[in-house]
Amino acid sequence: MSGKIRGGLRARKQAICRKAQRRHCSFYERCAHWSFDRSESASPIHWHRERWVLAGTALIATLLSGFIMPAWATAMKPAPTVEPHTLLPLPLPKLSPIRQAAPKVDDWQVVRVQPGQTLSDIFSSHGLSLTDLQRVMDAAGSAKSALHSIHPGQEFDFLIGKDGSLRGFRFDKDQADRAIVRLDGPQPTMTLQARVMDVREEVAHGVIRSNLYAAGAAAGLNAAMVGKLANLFKYDIDFVQDLRPGDSFTVIYDATYRDGVRRGEGDIVAAEFVNQGTRYTAYRFKKADGDYGWFSEDGRPIQKSFLRIPVDFTRISSPFSMDRLDPITGRRQEHSGVDYAAPMGTPIHAAGDGVIKFRGWERGYGNFVVIQHNKDISTAYGHMSRFAKGERVGEHVKQGEVIGYVGMTGWATGPHLHYEFRVDGVARNPQTVTLPKPQPLPAAQLAKFKATVVKPELARLEQIDQRIKLARNDTPADHTDN
């Protein structure tokens, strides 16, 4: 991509961003009471006023163009009843039904089908006759069947000459092809064109005020994208306990477009999360095996070798301790693991990739599983109500795989998971033990990752942050003007 195009894109993105902020100003106002940080709460009032100014300007412009300067009106596009793209909140003045002047050659009008509309309705609303529709049908040939059933939301493109005659008509034949009917040549023609799917990158930035989902929504992200963001950083950030007001994120992600129409979001390309002053980053990279993975700046997988906590627990019912009063035996002895209280039947996940070394009954532990992860590290899980199906001794398990369910078998006074982390056979505190860092990419891959992913994406993230800082510095100045 050339610098110029990129610059243009950036400008458009900024414009979209501004528009979104304006559109969501009522959201900001509504949710202002959620905010912990009230220092910026004056800005919605400012937006509100600006909206009135905009509306006023639009009204004046509309009146001028409609009544005082009819020449403008003829230059303007008509407002066909089915035209869905009009954004003005005010009713447009009625235009004379006289055909407006000279759409340039190939000035296609896009029309979206409204509920209950037929193709002939759409044709007649464009001043076209059933004969025109018949000519299109005749010329459409093999693509004709696509015109027999139309549905709301579908789009048709019209090319209408300055004399009001139909010169061309475009529609989707199917998922793969678009049919283009031309009626302006010596003979009507129909050509098929492959429909264009493209991926464009979009950017969002948010600041946490109440919770991650609210911040995501304010930044224009849907819940699925917020989920993807949380998934990337869940190994480093506990989104329930660690999040603080003022934490922020910047995310660059793919959006898919078909024939220029946005269809949805794809994967995260790069993301940054600042949590309590610590900055975490994740970059997408196509690995040697062809799969995508997400890596931190130093080329280590975002996914850590071990989950810190292998169960969705409600509370820690007993911490790791060298000296505790055992509730069953009544004796003082060490507690070689952590007890996570959780409802009976809660799934227990393998903390890391490994091989099942033990699965069965063990005195005190009840239903017990031990996973060997490498030559030094093993993890152990006790008091299970039952084991997961198919997990046999000697079999490989993946991190996160369900190995059993919370219970209170063995010496237990309530349902909980007793979890041990053993290094060379010695129990260590799973809450504080230094977990081994995952292996970075191999040297050649690492070099490629740094050059082709980190360098450009990091520059973009920094550029976005810089722009946000500048925008933030601008805001107070605006207020003093008012």
> Among candidates 417, 331, 334, which has minimal Cα distance to 368?
417
Considering only residues 124 to 143 of the shown chain, the ones binding Zn ion according to CB under 5 A are none
Does position 339 interact with Zn ion (CB under 5 A)? The reply is: yes
The least CB distance from residue 292 to Zn ion, in Å, is 39
Please choose, out of 57-65, 275-283, 335-343, 370-378, the segment that lies near Zn ion by the rule CB under 5 A.
335-343
* Residue (32 or 309) nearer to Zn ion, CB: 309
Site for Zn ion in 240-279 (CB under 5 A): none
Task: Mark the segment that binds Zn ion (CB under 5 A) among 225-233, 355-363, 398-406, 415-423.
Answer: 415-423
Sequence-separated contacts (24+) of 54-57 with Cβ below 8 Å = 55/89, 55/90
Phi, psi at 40, each rounded to 5°: -105, 10
Q: At its nearest, how many Å lie between Zn ion and the CB of residue 196? A: 59
Q: How far is the C-alpha of 96 from the C-alpha of 390, rounded, in Å? A: 75
**Cα angle value 459/464/465 (rounded, 5°):** 100
**Polymer length of the chain:** 482
Q: Does 418 bind Zn ion (CB under 5 A)?
A: yes
Using the minimum distance from each CB to Zn ion, give the nearer residue, 170 or 418: 418
DSSP state of 301: B
Site for Zn ion in 49-108 (CB under 5 A): none
What CA–CA distances, in Å, run from 362 to 16, 113, 266, 385, 395?
Answer: 62, 68, 47, 13, 19
User: Smallest distance from the beta carbon of 240 to Zn ion, in angstroms?
Assistant: 23
Q: Which two tokens stand for residue 368?
A: 């017990």
Taking CB atoms, the residue at the shortest distance from Zn ion is 418
Closer CB to Zn ion, 247 or 339, in the complex:
339
Range list of H helices, 177-264: 212-218, 223-233
Part in contact with Zn ion (CB under 5 A); list of ranges 9-17, 268-276, 288-296, 333-341: 333-341
Q: Pick the closer one to Zn ion by CB: 56 or 327.
A: 327
Distance in Å, CB of 363 to Zn ion, minimum: 14
Of residues 200-219, those binding Zn ion (CB under 5 A): none
Burial (CB count <10 Å: 0-12, 13-18, 19+), residue 35:
middle
Question: How does strand 315-318 pair with strand 338-341?
Answer: antiparallel
Interface with Zn ion, residue 420, by CB under 5 A: no
Q: Report in angstroms how near the CB of residue 337 gets to Zn ion at its nearest.
A: 5
CB of 315 to Zn ion, least distance (A): 14
> Nearest-CA neighbor of 14 among 237, 239, 205?
205
Query: Would you say 167 or 383 has its CB closer to Zn ion?
Result: 383
Nearer to Zn ion, 284 or 383 (CB): 383
Q: Which stretch binds Zn ion (CB under 5 A): 125-133, 213-221, 336-344, 388-396?
A: 336-344
If we measure between CA atoms, which residue out of 324, 321, 204 comes closest to residue 254? Answer: 204
Per-residue binder mask for Zn ion (CB under 5 A), 290-329, x = binder: ----------------------------------------
| b/e map 382-405, b = 16+ CB within 10 Å | bbbbebbeebeeeeebebebebbb
CB 119 within 8 A of CB 150: yes
- Site stretch for Zn ion (CB under 5 A), options 187-195, 240-248, 334-342, 466-474: 334-342
The neighbour count for residue 302, using CB atoms within 10 Å, is: 21
Select the span of 32-40, 322-330, 418-426, 435-443 touching Zn ion (CB under 5 A). 418-426
Give the C-alpha separation, 45 to 28, whole Å.
10
Pick between residue 78 and residue 382 the one whose CB is nearest to Zn ion: 382
Longest dimension (CA), the chain: 101
- Size of residue set near Zn ion by CB under 5 A: 2
- Nearer to Zn ion by Cβ, of 220 and 410: the residue is 410
Query: From the CB of 367, what's the least distance to Zn ion, in Å?
Result: 14
Q: Which is nearer to Zn ion, 239 or 365 (CB)?
A: 365
Which residues in this chain contact Zn ion in the complex, by CB under 5 A? 339, 418
